[in-house]
Amino acid sequence: MVFSRFVEVGRVVLITYGPDAGKLAVVVDIIDHSRVIVDGPTTGVARQAISFKRATLTDLTISIPRTIGTPALKAQIEKQDLLGRWSKTAWAQKIAKREARAKLTDLDRFKLMVARKQRRAIVGKALGKIRKSK
Amino acid sequence: MRSIIQENDIPIPEGVTVDVKARLVRVKGPRGQLVKDFKHVNMEILRLSKSKLKIKVWHGGRKHNACIRTISSHIENMITGVTKGFEYKMRFVYAHFPINVNIISDGAEVEIRNFLGEKQIRRIKMLNGVKIDHSTAQKDEIILTGNDIDNVSQSAASIQQSTTVRNKDIRKFLDGIYVSEKGLLVKD
């Protein structure tokens, strides 16, 4: 297998375990083979050392110098539109869908059921027309 | 302690195409094609360009890094096998009983008779892609040729090991067929 997500200064990671689980952060410095210093001023992650067991690498990187300070990092994140790029990825959209579905109330689920029925009716009618014409 | 990355470059000469997918390496050249599967080693084998192959090991310990050079050597042997070919020469050594070697099925099988006067006929099948012939220039010599160095050298070893002396002092009874020269087929 060929590797494409490298641990480097500027690699964006998604924290998967711990108090900051689910948040994005940027690798600011590398400690050793298993730990990095990570910072996420725009997503609420304090500057800290984190193990790779608690995070996954994403495909995104931003271009920053090593050990950049937190306010300068925040400026670079906003300038390079990291959160915008993240929200466009399929990964982020799947997470958003999952969260939206989990927040549904009973009424929401009812509305969803009705909407799916209506869509099924429209699709079924069009399908029936095509079958008849064949 | 583990190194971050260790890598090795292999140059691919003109006339040879190397195709790598999921550690299965296919080398094509003027003398034919060789395929080798390196899935038993965890390594990145990448073809960077038509003339360069790169092997990378991330995060490797001592023994893992050592595999880089062995895999490179395997691939380099495939490349020379497919361009120049390998030739192993074997000489018959006997004191009294002349070793009689017959080559049957068009260079794919060997029969060895009269080794040390024994009645047993030793039959050795050559591995895939290996051809065997009597030498024309030298008496009591056979030449094995092929593209895959593993097959050629294993066939030679099978012949050598089939002519071992038993129940005798091997310092005195030196009879056998021994590999005398390991080289390339196309010499330049």
The 10 Å Cβ neighbour count of residue B91 is 17
Q: Which residues of A touch B59 (CB under 8 A)?
A: 33
Question: Are both A78 and A12 inside the same structural domain?
Answer: yes
Q: Does B58 touch chain A (CB under 8 A)?
A: yes
Q: Give the pLDDT score at A117.
A: 97
Question: Are both A57 and A116 inside the same structural domain?
Answer: no
Q: Does B2 touch chain A (CB under 8 A)?
A: yes
Q: Which stretch of DSSP H or E encloses residue A106?
A: helix A106-133
Q: Does B24 touch chain A (CB under 8 A)?
A: no
Q: Which of B2, B46, B59 sits opposite A2 (nearest CB)?
A: B46
Q: Give the pLDDT score at A1.
A: 56
Distance of CA B75 to the CA centre of its chain: 13
C-alpha distances (whole Å) from A82 to each of A45, A79, A95 are 15, 8, 17
pLDDT tens digit sequence for A15-44: 999 999 999 999 999 999 999 999 999 999
Q: Does B46 touch chain A (CB under 8 A)?
A: yes
Cα distance between residue A97 and residue A76, in whole Å: 28
The domain that holds A24 is classified in CATH as 2.30.30.30
C-alpha distances (whole Å) from B126 to each of B74, B153, B175, B179 are 21, 10, 22, 15
The verdict on a CB contact (< 8 Å) between A1 and B22 is yes
DSSP string across B12-69 = --TT-EEEEETTEEEEEETTEEEEEE-TTS--EEEEEETTEEEEEEEEE-HHHHHHHH
The verdict on a CB contact (< 8 Å) between A33 and B2 is yes
**What is the pLDDT averaged over residues A52-81?**
95
Interchain CB contacts (distance < 8 Å): A and B: 9
Closest CA to B137 of B87, B84, B69: B87
The 10 Å Cβ neighbour count of residue A78 is 13
Average pLDDT of chain B, as a whole number: 95
Q: Does B7 touch chain A (CB under 8 A)?
A: no
| A87/chain B closest Cα distance in angstroms | 31
Closest CA to B127 of B166, B75, B88, B183: B88
Q: Same fold for the domain at B3-84 and the one at B86-184?
A: yes
Domain spanning B3-84: CATH 3.90.930.12: yes
Residue A14 has pLDDT above 80, yes or no: yes
Q: Give the pLDDT score at A2.
A: 86
C-alpha distances (whole Å) from B25 to each of A115, B19, B75, B104, B186 are 53, 6, 8, 33, 23
0.80 exceeded by pTM: yes
Domain layout of chain B by residue ranges = 3-84, 86-184
Contact A10, A63 (CB under 8 A): yes
The verdict on a CB contact (< 8 Å) between A1 and B58 is no
**What is the pLDDT averaged over residues A70-81?**
96
- Domain hosting residue A110, numbered range: 104-133
Contact B1, B64 (CB under 8 A): no
Question: Are both A9 and A38 inside the same structural domain?
Answer: yes
Q: Give the pLDDT score at A134.
A: 86
Residues (pLDDT < 50) of chain B are none
Number of domains composing chain A: 2
The 10 Å Cβ neighbour count of residue A95 is 15
| A2/chain B closest Cα distance in angstroms | 6
Q: Give the pLDDT score at B187.
A: 86
Cα distance between residue B111 and residue B102, in whole Å: 5
Q: Which residues of A touch B2 (CB under 8 A)?
A: 33
CATH architecture classification, B86-184? Alpha-Beta Complex (3.90)
Size of chain B in residues: 188
Share of chain A above pLDDT 70, in %: 99
pLDDT tens digit sequence for A120-132: 999 999 999 999 9
Q: Give the pLDDT score at B130.
A: 95
Q: Which of A1, A2, A33 sits opposite B59 (nearest CB)?
A: A33
